[in-house]
Structure 1
């Protein structure tokens, strides 16, 4: 078994003493170097969970451990150094007048030396393929480019875990794919642990493993392939299966010899091309 990066045990939370719990007995582990997607509709508890993981909220009951440290008022600042958050709207994260300045901002706040910053900043910008925009004003960039800059700022701080909190929900399909491919490259090249909080099952399809939340509890857990087999049960809790999954299943039911249920449009097109190019 891989080493744990993060562990959640019997986590419960409510915003007021007399209000219902928005998280109720949630438990799961995240392993170093994996990409875990946490999916659910609005109100499922996933956004509250993201805030707890970053120490913005503290659990009412249960325990969160990150890199072996238990989350508490005493350890919040240490834990925040381990987790980098990328939020829904990248415009809310920009403070620098150029891409380079923006990536530098977090390092300055953390007291990183100038010499270290000179090394980290270009490395982080290169990792997200934004070198040619290093002197650009962030607000002149496309949505996908802005999120890549936001990710560069997180990478430069060298956290062990990156949490994407609905980070692609405001992007068009091109920008969304741009960001997700960047995340995949970081995970593979730098072995960074990724947790993506999302309601978009197309994003879930790119993860290694997925947890589905519903009503503040874990509804399902497994690989994307395993979870997507729930089909109508996911629709019943407000989640829409990716187009490629639905079409793969339809073609299979029509008697077309599909090798598997495909998670992405690209994989589905590749198999259909191979099937019919030989005829």
Structure 2
């Protein structure tokens, strides 16, 4: 059995735009439906939902038959959580709330086996095909994609150092927490917040680091794409469900 290829990582390396959707409803049928909609990637959010590593695995299985990359966001930059998700078969992780180069370096180290990191070794995990992938421990890093999330003004001040961390594949800018850190809690559309995010994307692009973003504001996403964003989440499952449910209700009221 060959080591599964990570199409998303390859696309980022080639600077090919990747369009994704956020998944907050932890149901395999929901993931299967969205995986069959033609997106390049889906984000399984285990930070702001009750999902844990055992609940993520059925979602990874639901996405597996489709040509989509399932990215997992753990609850924190935690070596144990990262280890469990990787052993469960996740190949791309989005690590939240990374503030500086040391935290970005720690995130990468958690995905690497010694001597290049601190990932614990399990030879019979789902990630290794339960032992069927030849030389998994030697080659796993080749297809593991590490993304970190910059979510505060403080973190943007360290973008240059973060972008230089070896093994880092992309930096995602989190609008909601960025807005909160700027004193605009609940207003990610504030002009100051948008300007800060677009500036961060341009800086990352100049540094040669793929930048990512999530927003339901399609006009802002187009600005982000023009600024250089490579991986772009264009909506959230919960937002889409509510928005369309309310719109249909209004048609009939």
Task: Specify the structure having the higher radius of gyration (Cα).
Answer: 1
Greater RCO (CA < 8 Å, at least 6 residues apart): 1
* Same topology, TM > 0.5: no
Q: Normalised by the size of structure 2, how large is the TM-score?
A: 0.39
Q: Normalised by the size of structure 1, how large is the TM-score?
A: 0.36
Determine which structure has the larger strand proportion and give its number.
1
